[in-house]
Amino acid sequence: MKRTVYRELNLSPGLLLILGLLGLVVAAGLGAAWYMEYYGHVVTGMNNQIVWGLPHVFAIFLIVAASGVLNVASLASVFNRALYKPMARLSGLLAISLLAGGLAVLVLDLGRPDRLIVAMTHFNFKSIFAWNIFLYTGFFVIVAAYLFTQMGRGFGRFVRPAGWVAFVWRLALTTGTGSIFGWLVAREAYDAAIMAPLFIAMSLSFGLAVFILFTLRSCALSGREFGQDLLLRLGRLLGLFIAAVLYFTAVQHLTALYASEHRGVEGFLLFGDSIYTTMFWTGQVLIGGVVPLVLVTLPTHGVSRVAIKLASTLVIVGGFVQVYVIVIGGQVYPLALFPGMEVSSSFQDGVIAGYQPSLPEFLLGMGGVALALAIAVIGMKTLRFLPESLGDEAVDLQPEPRTGAVT
Amino acid sequence: MAKRIFILLVLAVAVSLWPPSEPQAGDLLLAKVTVPKPAKGKGERCVDDTDFMRRNHMNLLDHQRDETVHSGDRTKRYSLKRCIDCHAVNGEDGAPVTADNPKHFCRTCHDYAAVRVDCFQCHASRPAPGGTAERSVGKSDVAALQSYLRELQQ
Amino acid sequence: MTTRRQFLRNTGAFTATLTGGATLIAFAETQAKSDTGGRKTRWGLLIDVARCPDGCSTCVSACSEENGWGDTGNRLTDAQWIRKVMVTDPQSKLSRSLPVMCQHCAEPPCVDVCPTGASFKRADGIVLVDKHICIGCRYCMMACPYKARSFIHEPLQDQKSHAPRGKGTVESCTLCVHRVDLGRLPACVEACAAAGHDAMLFGDINDPESEISKRIAQHPVRKIRADLGTDPGVSYENL
């Protein structure tokens, strides 16, 4: 077992510049939230048909990625893979930051963000949303405790149990996020149990992609090494997760296509002439799935750092598109008030709704991303999260065992 | 030693001369801000003692709001509607002012106490034009009910 | 509750004195009984689609007038508590026009999903939003199979005092709860009758003796998306 030395980031001009830029974006996001709150949601692209818009896409992406990013730590603590141990702290920090960023967007997009205290004092325990409030706050507490067992002196024996709790909790959290959609009986595009495992697969994939890019960038900026073999291992793991997302997506849509009841909405999403069809095939499947999968599974010696970085970037882009297709695409398709009948009204019944995201929505979402990154950077600056080196000679590159699941 | 005593002396003098911050701030405030004199409402007296209302109106309204929304309690004694009707303050144009105007009954005290209420994001802050907000059963209602009942009979 | 009961009794007696006649007294008694008896009241509507003319929107304008919502020029974000929906059979091209509003379900999905409990069902079956604790998350709008709910996208002023509504909260048909509590009819039902169509019937669907229950027992009725098991309080006849 090699000893890992962790060190804070140095306060370099580059770091200050990054923090300054992130601060600007956070400020822009807050300004956008204030603007939306002051004038009402009429200034956004949302309406009575598209009730959840671009901010929800950002928020859900960040929340899903937050739980997935913790997977690196779980691999170390729960699945005993020593290779991932040096990165476990950073994985926990990033999980907390991404969740904080996502929740900030979600909360600031509420119709009454000033009533957050109401959400914390009035609970309807039949609501999956209310459960999620506990899952999110619990996640903060559990991951913080998990980090404490890793970073505090003399708590080493608690790392494994804490890791287990965090692992189970993050699975519950993503199940909860997926079930927000899975339990919506009213909407044809949702209402499916597969939403929960699909979201878990998405979290693993998006989370790992975010982790790879963030860690590479952090090491590069602070002049620390990141091993080639370590990156290859992460890349292979990413390939597995991408395949899992593609698999669950295929099952999701094939199941829906089989029922003639859902052919309308499936035809619209998969074979229509709307932007959502393009986004699904080009964005989600090709850019977010097939291409990165090929990039990371090419013959090993041919896989370069650039390929894995590119694959991670594409997974994030494609993942964002996937969440967009799920959230927005699922809403634009009209509700079936009278199945089998044609309907029309002054309230957009029976028509495909339009949605044009507005600048404030985008700024609010970006503000959340910047907030997440800023928290992570400040964390790395203040406490010892990042190892002095992630070079191949510094990490435990023992051969991967033949038996036992990787995930 | 002498140095220490000197420092202590300086400190003691400083402390004794240091103006007590709160009364001073209060004096300043009193000089600029006048204690609110909320306008008198309509009628002889309020639905309860003025002193009692000053201290408890928020609890009464809170209780009434839950009773009304959840149990359908439409009694008038402590209803916000009734407060608004009796305590309407007319503006320069002779029409009752909304809560946007600092002269609004609720605002005279709430501004002073720096307590922001969000009642008026949903509730009208002045009586409906052309009559009180509280609408009683009128002739047209009876007529409508009669015609409806006649239809039922057929 | 006592005062409300008293009020209902008074209203009943008042109406009875005005016109006389057995039906009226019976009506008054039904109202009172619905509050005193062990059986729980459940208010509902029966809509006779055959009597609902295509192109007529009297109920919609009556609701808009009563509750103070309406066209502000932003078609996509304006609230619509009740709307006329045209249903056409794709093969026969046969059309029917009917009003759709909150269906006041016995098993309302909006109530299930609301995180704070702002979306709730009253003891008498009326589904409402308690705007004092609505945080504007819009999950109920995602969950409602009838698209009955609207989100208030803009600041408002001078609302109707009996129908408070404000920016950032969700709202829908209240079955004119402020009228029902005083023993009056919902505005849409009243207006429909006044216009001579009589397509809407309001009453206690749990009372087997009520007019609405008798009509439902005698004629085949349909409920929108009955397959979802929400058990709407609104039934449609001749659809």
Task: State the DSSP code for A8.
Answer: P
B150 has a pLDDT exceeding 70: no
Share above pLDDT 70 across residues of chain A, in percent, rounded to a whole number: 96
Q: Which of residues 140-159 of C touch B (CB under 8 A)?
A: 155-159
Where residue A69 falls (left for φ over 0; alpha for ψ -120 to 50; beta otherwise) is alpha
Q: Are A91 and A72 in contact (CB under 8 A)?
A: yes
Quick one: average pLDDT of C208-221?
A: 94
Nearest to B144 among C160, C165, C194 (CB): C194
Q: Give me the amino acid identity at C99.
A: P
For residue C103 the two structure tokens come to 């269906």
State the best of C63, C72, C76, C81 to mutate against chain A, taking most chain A CBs within 10 Å: C76
Q: Tell me the pLDDT band of A40, cut-offs 50, 70 and 90.
A: very high
Q: Which residue has the higher pLDDT, C107 or A153?
A: C107
User: Which of A41, A116, A347 is nearest residue C80 as measured by Cβ atoms?
Assistant: A347
Contacts of C17 in chain B (CB under 8 A): none
Residue C60 phi/psi, 5° resolution? -65, -45
Locate the chain C residue with the closest alpha carbon to A118. C133
Q: Closest Cα partner for A334 from A268, A273, A249?
A: A268
Read off the amino acid at residue C91: Q
Given the DSSP bridges, would you call strands C43-48 and C234-237 parallel, antiparallel or unpaired?
parallel
Q: For A309-339, how does the pLDDT look when each residue is reduced to its tens digit (9 = 90+)?
A: 999 999 999 999 999 999 999 999 999 999 9
**Cβ of B152 and C166 within 8 Å?**
no
Q: What is the C-alpha to C-alpha distance for residues C167 and A38, in angstroms, rounded to an integer?
A: 9
Contact indicator for A143, A174 with CB cutoff of 8 Å: no
**Closest-CA residue of chain A to C60:** A346
How would residue A397 be classed by pLDDT, with cut points 50, 70 and 90?
Answer: confident
Average pLDDT over residues B17-40: 62
pLDDT attached to residue C39: 76
Please state, in angstroms and as integers, the Cα–Cα distance from residue A231 to each residue in A71, A208, A289, A397, following that order: 15, 11, 19, 11
pLDDT beyond 90 at A123: yes
**B145 and C15 in contact (C-beta within 8 Å)?**
yes
pLDDT at B141 (0 to 100): 56
Is residue A404 over pLDDT 60?
A: no
Q: Does residue C177 belong to the interface with chain B, where contact is any CB pair within 8 Å? A: yes
C-chain CB neighbours of B70 within 8 Å are: 120, 122, 130
Q: What is the pLDDT of residue B45?
A: 86
- Distance between CA atoms of residues A96 and A66, nearest Å: 7
Separation between Cα atoms, residue B133 and residue B138, nearest integer Å: 14
Which residues of chain C lie closer than 8 angstroms to B100, CB-CB? 157
Long-range contacts: C93-96, Cβ < 8 Å, 24+? C95/C54, C96/C49, C96/C52, C96/C54, C96/C239
Q: Which residue of B has its CA nearest to C191?
A: B144
- The verdict on a CB contact (< 8 Å) between B152 and C24 is no
pTM: 0.87
| Share above pLDDT 90 across residues of chain A, in percent, rounded to a whole number | 87
The helix (H) or strand (E) run that includes residue B106 is helix B105-113
Cβ neighbours of A112 in C, within 8 Å: 134-136, 168-169
Interface contact C166, partner B, CB < 8 A:
yes
Of A129, A345, A348, nearest to C113 by CB-CB distance is A129
Q: Which residues of A156-165 are buried (b: 16+ CB within 10 A; e: fewer)?
A: eeebeebbeb
Q: Is residue A202 within 8 Å of A324, Cβ to Cβ? A: no
Cβ within 8 Å of residue A80, ≥6 positions away: none
Per-residue model confidence (pLDDT) at position B148: 60
Do residues A381 and A373 lie in contact, with contact meaning Cβ atoms separated by under 8 Å? no
- Give me the interface pTM, i.e. the ipTM: 0.91
- Backbone angles phi and psi of C114, in degrees to 5: -65, 120
Q: What are the chain B neighbours of C157 within 8 Å (beta carbons)?
A: 98, 100, 124-125
- In chain C, which among 183-212 make CB contacts under 8 A with chain B? 184-185, 189-190, 193-194, 198, 211
The pLDDT confidence band at residue C27, using thresholds 50, 70 and 90, is very low
Query: Do A224 and A389 meet the contact criterion of CB atoms below 8 Å apart?
Result: yes
Question: A132: nearest CA in chain C?
Answer: C115
Looking at beta carbons, which residues of chain B come within 8 Å of C204? none
Chain A CB contacts of C135 under 8 Å are: 110-113, 115-116, 118-119
Chain B nearest CA to C147, separation (Å): 22
Contact criterion met (CB < 8 Å) for C152 and A40:
yes
- What residues of chain C lie within 8 A of the CB of A40, using their CB? 152-155, 167-168
Mean pLDDT for all residues in chain C: 87
User: Of A137-151, B35-49, C199-213, which gets the smallest average pLDDT?
Assistant: B35-49
Distance from C-alpha of C230 to C-alpha of C104, rounded to nearest angstrom: 9
- Average pLDDT in the A206-223 region? 96
Three-state DSSP class for A3? coil
- Interatomic CA distance for residues A2 and A306, integer angstroms: 28
Q: Cα(A373)–Cα(A377) distance, rounded to whole angstroms?
A: 6
Size of interface A-C (CB pairs under 8 A): 165
Instruction: Search chain A and give the residue with CA nearest C222.
Output: A338
Eight-state DSSP code of residue A261: G
pLDDT band at C15 (very low <50, low <70, confident <90, very high): very low
pLDDT of residue A393: 83
Instruction: Give the closest-approach CA distance of C88 to chain A in angstroms.
Output: 5
Structure token digits, residue C129: 């939003």
Is pLDDT of A211 > 90?
A: yes
Residue C10's pLDDT is what?
Answer: 46
Residue B60 CB partners (closer than 8 Å, separation 6+): B48, B53, B78
For residue A205, give the 3-state DSSP assignment: helix
Which residue has 């006389």 as its token pair? C20
* C77 with A185: Cβ contact below 8 A: no
Q: Is C132 within 8 Å of chain B by CB?
A: yes
Q: What dihedral angle (degrees, nearest 10) is formed by the CA atoms of C2, C4, C8, C13?
A: 60
- C-beta of residue C21 within 8 angstroms of C-beta of residue C67: no
Six token digits for residue A106: 């979600």
Closest alpha carbon to A361 in A136, A28, A22, A114: A28
Token duo for residue A369: 């991303």
Q: Do A42 and C100 touch (CB under 8 A)?
A: no
pLDDT in tens, B64-121: 999 999 999 898 889 999 999 999 999 988 889 999 999 999 999 999 999 988 899 9
Question: Using the 8-state DSSP alphabet, how is residue B40 labeled?
Answer: P
Tell me which residue in B128, B147, B148 faces C161 most closely, judged by beta carbons: B128
Matching residue, tokens 């009506």 = C27
Condensed to tens digits (0 to 9), the pLDDT of residues C55-94 reads: 999 999 999 999 999 988 888 999 999 999 999 999 999 9
Is residue C103 within 8 Å of residue C126, measured between CB atoms? Answer: no
Kindly write down the DSSP assignment for every residue of A271-339, as one continuous string: HSSSHHHHIIIIIIIIIIIIHHHHHHHS-GGG--HHHHHHHHHHHHHHHHHHHHIIIIIHHHSPP-SST
Q: Compute CA A382 distance to the chain's CA centroid, rounded to the nearest angstrom.
A: 25
For chain A, list the contacting chains (3+ Cβ pairs, <8 Å).
C
d(CA C68, CA C49) in angstroms, rounded, equals: 26
Query: C102, C173 in Cβ contact below 8 A?
Result: yes
Is A9's pLDDT higher than 70? yes
Q: How many CA atoms lie within 13 A of A361 on its CB side?
A: 22
The amino acid sitting at A102 is G
Chain C residues in contact with A183 by the CB 8 A cut-off are 113
As beta bridge partners, residue C98 has C85
pLDDT at B147 exceeding the cut of 50 = yes
A37 contacts: CB under 8 Å, gap ≥ 6: A108, A113, A114, C168
Which whole number is the average pLDDT over C181-196? 96
Residue A138 has pLDDT above 90, yes or no: yes
**Apex A140 CA angle, A134 and A142, nearest 5:** 90
pLDDT at C2 over 60: no
Residues of B in contact with C128 (CB under 8 A): 69
Q: What is the pLDDT of residues A362-376, one digit of tens each?
A: 999 999 999 999 999
On whether the CB atoms of residues A379 and A385 are closer than 8 A, the answer is yes
The strand pairing partners of A345, in sequence order, are: C85
CA dist A207 and A22 (Å) reads 20
DSSP string for residues in chain C = -HHHHHHHHHHHHHHHHHH--HHHHHHHHHHHHHHHSSSPP-EEEEEEGGGS-TT--HHHHHHHHHHT----S-TTTS--SEEEEEEE-TTT--EEEEEEE----SS-HHHHH-SSS-EEE-TTS-EEE-TTT-----HHHHH-TT---EE--S---S--TTS---TT-EE---TTHHHHTTT---HHHHHHHHTT---EEEEETT-TTSHHHHHHHHS-EE-TTGGGT---SEEEE--
